Each structure stands twice: as C-alpha cells, then as structure tokens.
Structure 1
Amino acid sequence: MQVKLMPDAVRAPAFERTLPAVNEAANWVSSVGFERFGLKGAVRELRKLCYGELKARGFGAQAAQHIIKRVADAYTTLRAGIKAGNLGGEGSKRRIKAESKPVVFRPDAAHTFDDRCLSWNYDARTVSIWTLDGRIKNVRFVCSADALKQLTEHRKGESDLLRRDGMWFLIATIDVPDTEVFEPRGFIGVDRGINNLATTSDGTNYTGRRLSRYRRWQARKKAELQARRTRSAVRLLRKRVRREARHATHINHRISKDVVAVAQRTERGLALEELRGIRERVTVRRDQRATQSSWPFHQLGSFLEYKARRAGVPFIEVDPAYTSQRCPRCGHTARANRPTRDHFSCRRCGLAGPADHVAGVNIAKRGSSAWVLVNAPVPGPA
C-alpha cells in the first residue's frame, strides 16, 4: 500500500540528506562484502565487518542493521537469480557482468524501515520516522479512505521510503487474509494475447486495438524525445515511460477486476495458461517484437491471481501447449486448424470460431481437469 508523505520545508531537508546517505552507506557495505566474500556475503559476516563503521558515520543501531540486511538480501536475490538462469547460462555476458562487480544502489533507491524506526498515527494521518537529523515526528501523509482502512486493519511488518519525481512515498506491507475458496461449478479460461489482451471462454473479448494506437503514439513521441538528446528531453522521456506504465497497470486492473467479478458471481474458478518463458519459446513478427517484450502479461496474470484469492475464487495455471490449435469438440490438434492468426477451423469436425475464444475454452477444460487432480483425495496406506 502506497501513501504520499507531505514533509514541510523544515522537515524535507532531513529526508533529502538521509536517503542518499543510506544508499551511499549500502554501496560501501556492498563493496566491502564483495571484496571479502564475493557474492556469498551473509548478514553475520557483513555485520562483523561494517557495523562499527556505520555507527561511526552517524547511523543508529537499528538503521545500521537495516543497511547490512538490505545488502545481504540483495546478494541473496542475485544468487537466486543466477541459479535460476535469469541472467543466462554460465559464460553469458549478463551473468559475467553481474558476477564481476558489487551490487550498486541508486541514490534515491527505496530503503526499509521497521516499527522501531517508523511509527504510524492513523487517526492524525501522520508518521514518526528516523533520519540522520534525528527522529522527525508528525510528518503528514495522504491516501484514500480505502487505503487508510487497509493500513489500519492489515499493515504488518516493514515499510519502504522512496523518492520519485521530487515527491516522497511510503510503501507499507499489508497482510490481507485470503477468503476461503469455494468449490467451483466449472472454470473460466482466460487467453492472453497481444491484439486481444484477454479473451475468456465465455466469449468476452478485451481488445487491445485502442491500446495499440495509444502505444504507437507514445512510441513516436518517445522517439522524437530521444532524437533531441537534451537533459529536458531525458526528463520528459522518463515521465512518458512512467505514464505509459501507469496506463498499462490501470488497464490490467480493470480487466482482472471484471473477470474475477464474473467468476465470483457464477461460482466458477479461473484458469490461465502458464506463460513463464514465453518470450524465449514464441516468435512473433518483427513489428510485434517491441509489444511482446514490453506489455506486462505477467502483471495481468498476477492481478487475476491476487484478486481471485481475495474473492475466494479458485485459481489455477495450466499447460498452454496447442490451446489455439486443438479443437475443443473433437480433440483434433493441428497447425492447419488455425489458418490465420484470428480464426480457428477444425479440419476434422468443422468447428469454427475466433482462435482466442477457442483457446479460452481449451484452457477452461484443462483448468477443470487440473483442479480435480490437484484436489483429489490422497489414498491412505493399504
């Protein structure tokens, strides 16, 4: 949950000094740990090396601990990403680059505060927060009424302080309990794509035609700004990139909210195709490469998942193989069943229709089968 901080002219300089200093200290801890341990530095070892120096630099005990833990967590994440192959195989350029230098934190990167360094007053809508200038109290924050209710009832754990476009924000962790999942009467299959952002097995189609025009217009404007090569053009380019990301997030929220509402009303579950690694598996036309690489397909899936869990709607991911080439009536699977990108026509039984709708129906069927297998009772010992 994100809230906006409103420090006045007296308190704002303390924030401006603290966040860059914290990130500079994190970079120092990272370089010391990398020089001594490589990518294998842990909290205990980094604490022995760096805690005393951080205290001497003016950081409180808890702030110093957070800086050290943050650096250790960054290396843990990096090691996990390398192990999972996210940076390529052994010897790849990305992996060599990541392994050859310490982790670096931006001057305005978010920093973590726990309840010892940060306290909330929900009634007054203020926070008290640690800075290098001491504890600053009664810093006002603003948010919607719904967000304030979520914070009051479900905030738990740490919060991150960050600066964006000259404004200060706190991102608080909230722990909302999942609603009990009901037993579905069937499943709604959701097929995600480029031209049609989402198509359900019910035939509902969330077309991306208007969005494609918007993104092409944004691409032209960004190209014009890139050609200028001035500082003001760079600032405007960053603003446009963030605006486009917010627009995509809004659309994904709207689609996922509608789909989950239908599933909840009809007491059905949601089935999505598993798209991990789709950019490596699937080839698209040259003019669609940028769209495939930039549109947040995973974000739409994650929105559907968390909204479904919050509403108690069963959610499952299924194998996406041949969902748009398989006939849902007779089961015949062939590339010839999809003569064009948008049309499906079974060569065996003659069933025809929009390819995305057919894929959604196949996904729904696989979801029902997978749900039965996942929730089947485990046989007891003989």
Structure 2
Amino acid sequence: MKLVVRVKLLPTPVQAAALEATLHACNQAATWAAGVAFEENARRPLELRKHAYAEIRERWGLGAQAAQHAIKKSCDAYTTLKANLRSGRYGRPGTKRHARASGKPVVFRPEAAQPYDDRMLSWQHQARTVSIWTTAGRLKGVAFTGQAEQLEVLAAHRRGESDLVCQGGKWFLIATCEIPEGDLNTHPDGFLGVDLGIANIAVTSDGERHCGRRINRKREQDRNLRRKLQKRNTKSAKRRAKKYAGKEARRNKDINHKISKRIVAEAERTGRGIALETLTGIRERARLRKPQRVKIHSWPFAQLGSFIAYKAKRAGVPVVYVNPAYTSQECSKCHHTARGNRPSQAVFSCRVCGFVEHADHNASHNIRQRGWMVWVCGAQSTAPELTLIA
C-alpha cells in the first residue's frame, strides 16, 4: 500500500535561493516542453524526448535526470488533461470551457512540484539531512524535520520518487512509501456503520457522534469570515482569505484524521468491518435547503472517507461501500421507507412501527445492515492507493 509522507526542509538562505532557482528553471523547462508537445503532437515521453531533450539541457542547464523529469512531467500533465476532458470536468465538447482547456498548451506555475529520484536526492536519516541536486550544484547537509512517527515510516518504507514543493515560502519534500498491509480480517463480527452528514460529520451505528457544537460554531465562523472577505474584494482581503483558507483546510484535515483514527480503532478493537456510503455524486444527488447546501459543500467528506479506508487497510479492517439511497428514510427496524419518516432533520419516526431515534443513528444502522449484506455477497475491501499522511 502506498502512503505519502511530507517532511519539512530547513535550508539556509543560500540553500533556499538555490532550491528556488532550481524549481523555477525546471518548471520553465517543463512549460517549454509542454508547448513543443502541443505543437508537434508528441505527448509521449519517448516522442517528446527527441524534440526537447537536448534543448532543455542546453538552454536551462538541467542535468540528464532533471531534463527527463521535465519531459515526463509535461506528458503526465497532458495525460491528466485528456482524462479530465473525457470525464466531462471541463464541460461538453464544443463549449467554451472545453475549448479553452484543450486549445492551448499546458503551463506550469514557477513553484510547481518537481520530482526527484534517487540519483538526484539521497537521504541521511540518522543525521536528518538530505543531499539534493540543484542548478547551482549538489547541496549537501540540507536539514529536514517532521514528527517522530512520520520519520520512522520514511526511514523504513520509502520507495521511488520524492517531490520538492514550496508552499508559502516553506520547503517540503513529499516522499512515497510502500507500507505493508495488515492481515485482513476475513471473518468480521459484523460491521460498524458510518453515516456522514450535515449536522454531525460522522455518526456510527454504536451511537457515537463525531462533531460537536464547538466544531460547528467554528465552521460557521469560517463561513462568515470568508463571506466578509469576499464582499470586500480588495488585495489585502484576497491575501487574507487565501491565508485563512489554508489554515481552515489544515484544521479540517486534522479533524478528519482524528475522526477516522477513532472509527478504525473501534472497529479493530471489536473485530468488525466498516461500512461506508458511496459518496460519488453526493452533491449532485442531495436536495437540500440553502443553509444545508453551504454546510455539505464546506466539509471534505471524500477526504474523511479516504482516511478511514487507508487506516483500515493498514489495520486489516475490511471496508465495504453501500448504496446510500434512502438510508435516511428507511426504518432500521421494520425497513419501511417513506419521506414522512423524517419529520425534521434530527428526528426519525417510523409511521408504520412507531420506532423513534435520532435520524443519523437510524441511517448508520441501515448502512451497517447493508454493509453486512454486501460483504456476504463477496465484496472486497478497498482503499485508495495513495494518501497523504503528514
């Protein structure tokens, strides 16, 4: 299983200047190579290499490996663009948005991530330093830091390339690690149903709610501040909004990590699997009032689901995905389904058997039951192949 660990570099001012110059040169070369690929219709590495390799090395002074990575980076960008066009992310063919996306070469930001392989980057884990190639020569003794658990994973399981990234004037290396999976529990003692919702971020079939008034109040404050900054529409307001958006995303990510860790730990402790709703297209399917639409769009539910999946895979906990249709309207006792079973957002009251419970708890029970049926029918545990853990 692939995980991604991010460590922070601590370069000196001279080293930081060399890294910045290298990043800019590599991205300029990749942008030029993308233009050549667009003009020559050479969007495979071997084809583009014939047109761009020598020019990249001569014009920008990149090493052999760096030039190869610039070419591959351009080709990968066109592959991603093609997939997005095919999936309809840029609208239907013939629309202006589709034409804008497909009718011009790919352009890379000056500080876009640059991949490094083992020939260009070496790690000294005991000294917590790296030796990294730059256009000014090889920099040795560049210090890095991170949490102890992350550094242990990095030292034991790092494989493949690492990406050099500059974010907000800070330097990071994002390394890919191959983590061994836990032994899958092939005979789970039932499933733990997890309902992802609006008022509560996550509710389990054990009755545990993962949210709280404090988080909801903070989310409301974030929305109000974002709305005020958008109304002002000045440069300082935009700068502050961008800075605060990063802070908000980091806080939400931390909460999702904590929620997913508790859910997986409970399932592992009790020998159960985890049943989740299939969230694909949830925003298009949901019919909500305006305040609820704001809430459901402001939380990264897909991120939470991926965190649960990869943590469960490491722990050997099976994960299944169920059809979310009518889980909030179906009675978990008699299975009568009707819109009238939901007199309010928080209350479920069955019109047939009279069963009354919190609506999210009732939905989590339905997800648990559907998860068991999916498992009995032979579903496999699934998890994303690449997840950022630091």
Normalised by the length of structure 1, the TM-score is 0.94
Say if 2:105 is the partner of 1:102: yes
Hey, what's the Cα distance between the residues in 1 that align with 2:212 and 2:39?
Answer: 49
Corresponding residue number in structure 1 for 2:139 = 136
Give the unaligned 5+ runs of structure 2: 381-390
1:155-194 to structure 2, matched below 5 A, reads 155-182=158-185, 183-194=187-198
Corresponding residue number in structure 2 for 1:150 = 153
- Residue 227 of structure 1 deviates from its aligned partner by 4.5
The alignment partner of 1:374 has SS state of: coil
Q: Is the 8 A contact 1:112 1:161 kept in 2?
A: yes
Q: Is the 8 A contact 1:194 1:208 kept in 2?
A: no
Corresponding residue number in structure 1 for 2:386 = none
- Residue 101 of structure 1 deviates from its aligned partner by 1.8
- Residue 234 of structure 1 deviates from its aligned partner by 2.9
Amino acid at match of 2:78: Y
Amino acid at match of 2:359: A
Say if 2:309 is the partner of 1:318: no
Hey, what's the Cα distance between the residues in 2 that align with 1:325 and 1:105?
Answer: 47
Corresponding residue number in structure 1 for 2:387 = none
Say if 2:129 is the partner of 1:122: no
> In terms of mean alpha carbon deviation, does 229-238 or 245-254 score higher?
229-238
Hey, what's the Cα distance between the residues in 2 that align with 1:191 and 1:229?
Answer: 37
The alignment partner of 1:179 has SS state of: coil
Say if 2:265 is the partner of 1:261: yes
Hey, what's the Cα distance between the residues in 1 that align with 2:296 and 2:96?
Answer: 23
Corresponding residue number in structure 1 for 2:292 = 288
> In terms of mean alpha carbon deviation, does 287-296 or 59-68 score higher?
287-296
Amino acid at match of 1:91: G
Q: Is the 8 A contact 2:128 2:145 kept in 1?
A: yes
Hey, what's the Cα distance between the residues in 1 that align with 2:318 and 2:128?
Answer: 36
Corresponding residue number in structure 1 for 2:385 = none
Corresponding residue number in structure 2 for 1:73 = 76
Q: Is the 8 A contact 2:320 2:379 kept in 1?
A: no
The alignment partner of 1:86 has SS state of: coil
Corresponding residue number in structure 2 for 1:380 = none
Hey, what's the Cα distance between the residues in 2 that align with 1:112 and 1:161?
Answer: 6
Aligned-residue identity in percent? 53
Hey, what's the Cα distance between the residues in 1 that align with 2:374 and 2:90?
Answer: 32
Hey, what's the Cα distance between the residues in 2 that align with 1:31 and 1:144?
Answer: 41
1:1-382 to structure 2, matched below 5 A, reads 1-37=5-41, 41-57=43-59, 58-182=61-185, 183-374=187-378
- Residue 132 of structure 1 deviates from its aligned partner by 0.7
Normalised by the length of structure 2, the TM-score is 0.92
Hey, what's the Cα distance between the residues in 2 that align with 1:341 and 1:106?
Answer: 45
Distance 1:106 1:260, change over 3 A: same
Highest RCO, 1 vs 2 (Cα 8 Å, sep ≥ 6)? 2
> In terms of mean alpha carbon deviation, does 61-70 or 343-352 score higher?
343-352
Q: Is the 8 A contact 1:195 1:209 kept in 2?
A: no
Hey, what's the Cα distance between the residues in 2 that align with 1:68 and 1:305?
Answer: 34
Amino acid at match of 1:374: G
Amino acid at match of 2:52: C
Corresponding residue number in structure 2 for 1:379 = none
- Residue 375 of structure 1 deviates from its aligned partner by 5.6
Give a deviation string over 1:173-201, Cα, whole Å, max 9, x none.
11111101112010010000111100111
The alignment partner of 1:366 has SS state of: helix
- Residue 257 of structure 1 deviates from its aligned partner by 0.7
Runs (4+) of structure 1 exceeding 6 A deviation are: none
Hey, what's the Cα distance between the residues in 2 that align with 1:345 and 1:356?
Answer: 12
Give a deviation string over 1:35-74, Cα, whole Å, max 9, x none.
222xx71112211111111110201111000011011111
Give a deviation string over 1:182-228, Cα, whole Å, max 9, x none.
12010010000111100111111123532232122223333443445
- Residue 93 of structure 1 deviates from its aligned partner by 4.3
Hey, what's the Cα distance between the residues in 1 that align with 2:46 and 2:198?
Answer: 47
Q: Is the 8 A contact 1:323 1:359 kept in 2?
A: yes
Amino acid at match of 1:51: Y
Give the unaligned 5+ runs of structure 1: 377-382
Q: Is the 8 A contact 2:21 2:135 kept in 1?
A: yes
Hey, what's the Cα distance between the residues in 1 that align with 2:85 and 2:375?
Answer: 33
> In terms of mean alpha carbon deviation, does 216-225 or 186-195 score higher?
216-225
- Residue 286 of structure 1 deviates from its aligned partner by 1.5
Hey, what's the Cα distance between the residues in 1 that align with 2:244 and 2:260?
Answer: 24
- The count of corresponding residues between Structure 1 and Structure 2 is 374
Hey, what's the Cα distance between the residues in 1 that align with 2:260 and 2:101?
Answer: 35
Q: Is the 8 A contact 1:200 1:360 kept in 2?
A: yes
Hey, what's the Cα distance between the residues in 1 that align with 2:160 and 2:281?
Answer: 32
